Structure 1
């Protein structure tokens, strides 16, 4: 029986030693994983810090860039409008060099007539009726109507 106890003891001892070795290996691997995790976490934190720093550093210049591009676009639009306006003025200037165009403008806007022609002015019947019913304002001189208009505006 002594041989059996010795074999059992040695097997138990062997199993205990084997269990301790396995536990030590597991503990070492967990420690290594934790060390790797902590290194990756530190690296990730540093990378996040670098990315945040770049975002903060580039935010203001990018905003300025975008706003300046918008201002440039607005100025280009204004320049195109100004060029069109200049072109219209050049066309008008060229037309004003034509004597027939000047005569037509004088006839339309200033009611000019050429010698030997008879000029007529058409009065709108509704406007003429309003003038007659407007407290006899057609019978008075024009400056009286102006002063009356000033007095009416002052009363309101």
Structure 2
């Protein structure tokens, strides 16, 4: 009796057909998964955009309200309506605490002085300028 081969011609053809089908389906399935992921990201972006739009709509409604505008002008710009007596009350405790803090720390020079000193330091090749002492570098 002759031995039958383990892989017959029909089995080989069937294996090739199954592989071809699997290969032809791999790309569409991958694209489907990628598109679903992209759809989820776009839905999330849409939700964020809608939230932002809602916030902007609320802000627009606030800015259309004349009472809100008046209140903001009074609070932020210290505007006073014609004929009204307006007062700005300064808290005395804040002035004292600022004075105490000023005595503990050395006064910082103005920004333009610090900028100019850093330009001079860079020009002469010296180190960085310290904020507390004008004209003095970090290396000194």
Map 1:115-130 onto structure 2 (within 5 A).
115-122=84-91, 123=94, 126-130=97-101
- Distance in 2 (CA, whole Å) between partners of 1:125 and 1:54 is 84
* Deviation >6 Å, runs of 4+: none
Structure 2 residue ranges without an equivalent (≥5): 119-127, 131-140
2:52 & 2:103 partners in 1: Cα distance? 44
Higher Cα Rg, which structure: 1
User: Partner of 1:65 in structure 2?
Assistant: 32
TM value normalised by structure 1:
0.58
Equivalent of residue 13 in structure 2, options 39, 46, 50: 46
**Is 1:113–1:119's contact at 8 Å kept on the other side of the alignment?**
no
Q: 2:123 aligns to what? A: none
Please state how far the C-alpha of 1:101 moved relative to its aligned partner. Answer: 0.8
1:93 is paired with a residue of what secondary structure? helix
Task: State the partner residue of 1:134.
Answer: 105
Displacement of 1:105 in angstroms is 2.1
By relative contact order (CA 8 Å, sep 6+), the higher-ranking structure is 2
Give the aligned CA root-mean-square deviation in angstroms.
Answer: 3.0
- The Cα of 1:125 is off from its aligned counterpart by 5.1
